[in-house]
């Protein structure tokens, strides 16, 4: 195993490593500047694709929503939001964590609950036609 690593490192010259590292740095900088979404202002809660409620993100509250499988708890905490509990089995919606930027969404498919963050004005991404 070590011999293979040494053979591979001999194939790449020091100038090649410089170019690889330079491109990695450029990709990271581009990603941070080009995909910088604006901060969200409001939270929209959907149940079965129908808007259930809208809340400001500038507060500290916890809301419980009754879905198809049971109760889902949503926490809003000073500009960010997350699903803190849900009756679904895999808990992907809870593992999504906190979201705070406009157009970010968390969906609990088994419970048919989704939350979306909206900015000061509605913007559309490339998926909308």
pLDDT in tens, 29-51: 988 887 777 888 999 999 988 99
- For the sheet with 71-77, list strands across it: 60-66, 71-77, 81-85
3-class secondary structure for 32-50? HHHCCCCECCEEEEEECCE
- Contacts for 87 with CB less than 8 Å, ≥ 6 apart: 67, 69, 70, 71, 72, 110, 111
**Lookup: tokens for 55:** 């809340």
pTM: predicted TM-score of the whole model, two decimal places: 0.69
Span 64-101, pLDDT tens digits: 999 999 999 999 998 999 999 999 999 999 999 999 98
Q: Which two tokens stand for residue 49?
A: 């694709």
């Amino acid at each position: 195993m070590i011999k293979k690593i040494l053979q591979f490192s001999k194939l790449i010259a020091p100038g090649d490593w410089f170019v690889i590292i330079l491109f990695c740095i450029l990709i990271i900088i581009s990603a941070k500047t080009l995909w910088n979404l604006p901060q969200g202002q409001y939270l929209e809660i959907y149940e079965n694709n129908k808007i259930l409620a809208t809340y400001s993100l500038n507060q500290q509250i916890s809301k419980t929503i009754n879905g198809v499988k049971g109760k889902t708890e949503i926490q809003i905490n000073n500009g960010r939001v997350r699903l803190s509990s849900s009756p679904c089995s895999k808990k992907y919606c809870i593992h999504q964590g906190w979201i705070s930027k406009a157009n970010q969404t968390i969906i609990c498919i088994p419970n048919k609950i989704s939350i979306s963050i909206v900015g000061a004005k509605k913007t559309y991404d490339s998926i909308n036609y």
